[in-house]
Chain A
């Protein structure tokens, strides 16, 4: 049994392997050197696990690379796996999210991209089709770019239904109940301090959304100011930021196995995107956000003025749950025990943009 950690950075991809149940890691790389890797996934539904990477050449534009031999070789679709149709009048700027669907939807992979768009592949990521229902949504012209660009950055297909939940910066949370044809905003209760109406129907800058292990209707959101929970599939949101040292941050991760358990990494504020008092810490809730516990002291650094980006934090499906995150100063930390203890996997990488973990047979 091998656990594989895929680490996408500003200047390439690194792969870390653990063959001793996540106690130690051997780091391999760089792969795709000098290419920005803002999205990565490890698709274990295939006979040979497939690594998909959303890359950006400094000069030569974005693309999707795929490897069926864990990075030994890479393939690229000639005309582009993600390519806007001519009538869309748009060009792909960046791939922000690559999300394999569930095991019984073989070869279905979702992609969230900039400009704001959602894509669906039925061939394992070799080619994607634009989800027209979202692209043609009347709200789309009013979705504004956040600081990193305007993109669909979170895609959460429900394994038990045709529901697909996405999050955008900006735009907020949108949900389709029919596999992507019709979409509605679900942001009631989420703040938008940068807008005249501070609780609009849509337009929020929701940084990340995670689904609780209890089922698809309970969601967590790390907002651009505010941490929230929904118990009705996004229909309404309630603040769960009480007990955190700050309500700003980018990622939020939920446990795939333990209901009520989620983690955040707070930053001071919009205008001060650093850990509170320079202490890089993970905060965990065991009760769906009612209370939070600070984790990581002794290993996670003090005097740390870095940050953790929205896709640079993930959880595995092990027991107990392992959590992993990478910082903008190129450090990757792992915990094999839900955050009780941490270890440094690697440091001195470029800025970590995305991180994913998978257990290989």
Chain B
């Protein structure tokens, strides 16, 4: 199955300059599988989103079809064919 990952501008450089990345995930329809596939060939991008244990970074928000995965099942959140996975920085920082 295929999903679209939408990145903030700051991370686009780590994905070849594109804010939109199409990911072919196979049968495992979880956010973790999407992020694993996104990480292929893009290790720096992956490190910005997840730490080395696979956890989402504290101030990175990820939405699957508009739903914040923190209030779903985190990286185990199901992702359907055609879903949009959006990565956004939280309001922290400065």
A residues contacting B by CB (< 8 A) are: 57-61, 63, 76, 78-80, 83-84, 86, 89-92
Q: Among B44, B52, B89, B93, point to the contact of A91 (Cβ < 8 A).
A: B52
On whether A59 and B92 interact (CB within 8 A), knowing A78-B43, A79-B43, the answer reads yes
* Minimum CB–CB distance for A184 against chain B, Å: 29
Say whether A59 contacts B90, CB under 8 Å: yes
Q: Among B43, B53, B55, B60, point to the contact of A60 (Cβ < 8 A).
A: B60
Chain A residues near B44 (CB-CB < 8 A): 76, 78
**Sample of 21 A–B contacts (CB below 8 Å):** A58-B59, A58-B89, A59-B48, A59-B57, A59-B59, A59-B89, A59-B90, A59-B93, A60-B48, A60-B60, A60-B89, A61-B47, A61-B51, A61-B57, A84-B52, A84-B53, A86-B52, A89-B53, A90-B53, A91-B52, A92-B52
* Minimum CB–CB distance for A295 against chain B, Å: 36
Chain B residues near A80 (CB-CB < 8 A): 47, 52
Q: Which of B47, B49, B60, B90 has the most CB of A within 10 A?
A: B47
B residues contacting A by CB (< 8 A) are: 10-11, 43-44, 47-49, 51-53, 55, 57, 59-60, 89-90, 92-94
In the bound complex, what is the Cα–Cα distance between A63 and B11 (angstroms)? Answer: 15
Closest to A91 in B: B51
Say whether A63 contacts B92, CB under 8 Å: no
- Given A61-B57, A84-B53: 10 more A-B contacts, CB < 8 Å: A59-B57, A59-B89, A59-B90, A59-B92, A60-B10, A60-B11, A60-B89, A78-B44, A86-B52, A92-B51
Q: Among A58, A60, A91, A92, point to the contact of B94 (Cβ < 8 A).
A: A58
Chain B residues near A63 (CB-CB < 8 A): 47
In the bound complex, what is the Cα–Cα distance between A205 and B93 (angstroms)? Answer: 28
Closest to B46 in A: A79
Closest to B93 in A: A58
Say whether A91 contacts B48, CB under 8 Å: no
* Minimum CB–CB distance for A234 against chain B, Å: 32
Chain B residues near A89 (CB-CB < 8 A): 53
For the complex of A and B, the 4 pairs showing the least CB-CB separation, nearest first, are A58-B93, A91-B51, A60-B48, A59-B89
In the bound complex, what is the Cα–Cα distance between A59 and B47 (angstroms)? Answer: 11
* Minimum CB–CB distance for B74 against chain A, Å: 15
Q: Which of A57, A86, A89 has the most CB of B within 10 A?
A: A57
